[in-house]
Structure 1
């Protein structure tokens, strides 16, 4: 084990925790708004950092670099194309949520369709967090930390046992942040870790390129661009795992859902002190997505040249970190990766408590529960969720098809069906609750059949898009046949300023141009020619 690096790792974590404690020590967490939403007091720096860090987990450090190593840069499409989705959310979805004073995204479904559908979708969200989000975060961070510090070798235990041990460690530390510190402690730590991420990312690229180029950064860059150029291409063909055409079908729908309807993501923006601050925060997160490939994909490119025959490809990123960085920097980068994992983990665990308390437990108590009781019940639920996730997480090791593939394919079960219902609710006034229930059931059943029963011969992202169109048509037909007697009307229950950011369109345009430029750079028209 790299003892110096491990000590620096613990030191940086202690510094982040100390800052979070100092900044939140006077904040009382005996109300649901304080515990789950940070009293809706976030400025754009905190919103942007929280959104970016919540999205950037160790799953991506491990999974995307593994994908680049085994395939090519096409995995970059998930992050780059999300920029357009985020801008659409900032312009159209966020004002709707803030206007109605939403605490959770399913709150819109209660206003639009009724409390029954809100409960169904809340159950779907919670199932997603328990099966996909929280376990994969724990697993990804365990793989990364073991790859950097070689815990299995240091303790003389099996790889599987080391993953178990690290899953528990990450779970306990992350649980303390969320359960004891609440939402504001999470956002403060995100801001500190975001600054550290920039420093750590530059350091990793600097040392890894020098290592590849035998002491010369320029030499390292020339090696990446001089051979194995098939790994540089981000424009996938029809036979690639991620065809470029999926950007305009299922990938776009999933990204729009993820950034505009996924509770653990949107909760960061819903806690903004105003619509303007929320829109600025989402734009700042877009800047982070433009820079993210330097950490999520380029290390995988470097590993292609350094390690041509890795058996366990999930160890690509942690092995690179452990090999090329000085001990002190290794500990710092490990802390950054760990912090990114904790950030997403915290957001998922906090949002699971928010969904359970506000959408299920509170209605069940019929308004007879005090804020103190709700916060206590939320903490108990979060502890239970954490224990279940820690038990399930290590077994992802045995999933065939790769870690990142597991995340994306399983998440489609939960994301696009909810997106379909939400988008029809946004766009129509008379489609009834029965149409939404039928649409959800139809989508989930048919998607399951297409992936596990029948071989349809179509990429799962294209299947999602096709089913989206069919489900929308089905819901509109039901709405035409049996429309709501009284059309839905928006209600203004906002508790924050709804004045939009005045200069947003110029900034949005610049972000879209830079997004397109990134795709051109990593293509056969750019450096992959």
Structure 2
């Protein structure tokens, strides 16, 4: 064990605060399922935004970033940076609509948008699929990173890490519900950020690195620090790198792949936060704050650690020699992140480890609460015909939370690296994203569309996973998206649309705009049921704001990177882009508010 008494005191204090918040929240959480899963729908946007940032901090994210940087360079982060486009789409086209829906979970949406047994079937199926299987995979990826950190920093076995870390998250989520999750997220976010910056600082103090001034002079780092991959089509290897790292994520992946935290159209715990907001403006603010912090603020400390690790541990063999007791099945480039943390001095080592524990607890507790909400609201409650009492639903939620944690622990034993889990989730979600966007803006989407998309994506992913082929990863992604989209689009056009009564009811509640609903609005008006829309929901205005948000956040992200690289002029230019785009975005909101008041 690398920890001293001071380190242990810091870690114990973080755990104690976490448990106390859970206990404090327990009385309120137990009143009814709305309190347990959504904290009464009265939370402020800034609280929910910070909670989202803390949730996606996770223990596996630094490991994933480290693996991407070590194998593909800094440019490899476009695999997740591209999801900013998805995030901005959610902010400006979906956040208001989600809050307006008033549903308890995003899966309850199915019985607003669709009709009859098919709507209930898809709701209940996705509750089990997402709440147990998909959610279990996400948490297993987080847990595998925690296992490696626990082994390197504490000498813990796999069982000990899952027992101690999982038990803390389980207590928080089971007893305190959503309120406890959000409040501890906000507390733990500060610890997590302090730990990540400290980790970066001490990583560059590694004797092999020689300080921050020398980091970017090392040949191992110079070869990996480019933010964009080379625009080189001359060889198959360079083409595959460019397509995999940059073009597929930016052109296809962001709108076509359902990935937790970056769901096209919003969903999952992102939707849970939007639904818990006190009003539509707070819903928008929460998701905007999350995207700004997630993409602009957090990445560079992780990237600095990853680059420093290339100097200290250039090859996997170096990591293997440094940690000979590690299970060989768990050896991967993501191990380099916890390996670099061993350089921190006493006290700071405790802060860094507490930050990673905070990230783990925050993510796992959110996933547990979110997954349990699916099983409770979207499977058990419909199964009972709505006859279950509030107390029964809370009990089911708590029992389900325990079951999900046990399933996660079993899955974590079999995964090897954070990247493995990331790629698996991308492959299973490929091709489903567009249907989740269009269901809000095209009347022709029906329940069969979603069933076909889910089944199609799993079958296509299984085909590429279990058959031999010579396709590059980007080709697999493109084919998966194309085939799955063709499957659900064909199913949509070959089946009947939802009945007018269902569509009219949806329009009266949600009031989406755009040409995809014109025919239905016209039919409603012709039948004497004219429906008014909200000018703030303009698709054109939403897309303009989306572009400004993307420019502002990417500008800030790359300005920070260029400043770290010592490229001052480029950094200033990018910062100007960020400020101008952010200012224009703020002006558009003020004018929009004035139009509504007028």
TM-score bracket, normalised by the shorter chain, equals: 0.7 to 0.9
Check the 8 A contact 2:21/2:184 in 1, yes or no: yes
Per the alignment, do residues 454 and 66 of structure 1 end up closer, same or farther by CA in structure 2, a change over 3 Å counting?
closer
Structure with max Cα Rg: 2
Q: Which runs of 5+ in 2 are unaligned?
A: 230-237, 321-330, 511-533, 571-598
Check the 8 A contact 1:212/1:219 in 2, yes or no: no
Per the alignment, do residues 442 and 81 of structure 1 end up closer, same or farther by CA in structure 2, a change over 3 Å counting?
closer
Give the distance between the partners of 2:163 and 2:110, measured in 1 at CA.
36
Deviations 1:225-256, CA, capped at 9 Å, x for gaps: x6532211343453339421112112443367
Could you tell me which residue of structure 2 aligns to residue 61 of structure 1? 62
Give the distance between the partners of 2:41 and 2:536, measured in 1 at CA.
17
Per the alignment, do residues 28 and 238 of structure 1 end up closer, same or farther by CA in structure 2, a change over 3 Å counting?
same
Report the CA distance between 1:143 and its aligned residue: 1.2
Deviations 1:247-287, CA, capped at 9 Å, x for gaps: 21124433677434441332122211111112111111122
Deviations 1:374-432, CA, capped at 9 Å, x for gaps: 101111121122122222312223xxxxx133212221354345534423422321344
Q: Which moved more, 1:141-150 or 1:254-263?
A: 254-263
1:223 aligns with 2:226: no
Check the 8 A contact 1:89/1:256 in 2, yes or no: no
Could you tell me which residue of structure 1 aligns to residue 433 of structure 2? 419
Could you tell me which residue of structure 2 aligns to residue 157 of structure 1? none
Per the alignment, do residues 181 and 396 of structure 1 end up closer, same or farther by CA in structure 2, a change over 3 Å counting?
same
Report the CA distance between 1:52 and its aligned residue: 1.0
Report the CA distance between 1:446 and its aligned residue: 2.5
Deviations 1:462-513, CA, capped at 9 Å, x for gaps: 233323542353244325xx4444372325569xxx9979999779725524
Give the distance between the partners of 1:28 and 1:239, measured in 2 at CA.
50
Per the alignment, do residues 79 and 435 of structure 1 end up closer, same or farther by CA in structure 2, a change over 3 Å counting?
closer
Deviations 1:77-116, CA, capped at 9 Å, x for gaps: 1442222211110111222222221221122222222222
Could you tell me which residue of structure 2 aligns to residue 173 of structure 1? 168
| Structure 2 residue corresponding to 1:310, chosen from 319, 326, 331 | 319
Could you tell me which residue of structure 1 aligns to residue 228 of structure 2? 235
Could you tell me which residue of structure 2 aligns to residue 400 of structure 1? none
Per the alignment, do residues 178 and 304 of structure 1 end up closer, same or farther by CA in structure 2, a change over 3 Å counting?
same
Could you tell me which residue of structure 1 aligns to residue 149 of structure 2? 144
Q: Which moved more, 1:361-370 or 1:127-136?
A: 127-136
1:277 aligns with 2:271: no
Give the distance between the partners of 1:369 and 1:483, measured in 2 at CA.
32
**Structure 1 segment 25-424 matched on structure 2, within 5 A:** 27-113=28-114, 114-151=119-156, 162-211=157-206, 216-220=211-215, 222-223=216-217, 227-236=220-229, 237-240=238-241, 242-247=244-249, 248-254=251-257, 258-260=261-263, 261-289=266-294, 290-308=296-314, 309-311=318-320, 312=331, 313-323=333-343, 325-397=344-416, 403-416=417-430, 418-424=432-438
Check the 8 A contact 1:91/1:279 in 2, yes or no: yes
Give the distance between the partners of 1:214 and 1:70, measured in 2 at CA.
19
**Structure 1 segment 423-434 matched on structure 2, within 5 A:** 423-434=437-448
Could you tell me which residue of structure 2 aligns to residue 442 of structure 1? 456
Per the alignment, do residues 50 and 334 of structure 1 end up closer, same or farther by CA in structure 2, a change over 3 Å counting?
same
Could you tell me which residue of structure 2 aligns to residue 462 of structure 1? 478
Check the 8 A contact 1:48/1:280 in 2, yes or no: yes
Give the distance between the partners of 1:271 and 1:169, measured in 2 at CA.
30
Report the CA distance between 1:349 and its aligned residue: 0.8
Give the distance between the partners of 2:72 and 2:178, measured in 1 at CA.
38
Equivalent residue of 1:51, what SS? helix
> What TM-score results when the alignment is normalised by the length of structure 1?
0.86
Give the distance between the partners of 2:131 and 2:27, measured in 1 at CA.
31
Q: Which runs of 5+ in 1 are unaligned?
A: 152-161, 398-402
Report the CA distance between 1:327 and its aligned residue: 1.3
Give the distance between the partners of 2:14 and 2:497, measured in 1 at CA.
58
Superposed CA RMSD: 3.1
Could you tell me which residue of structure 1 aligns to residue 548 of structure 2? 509
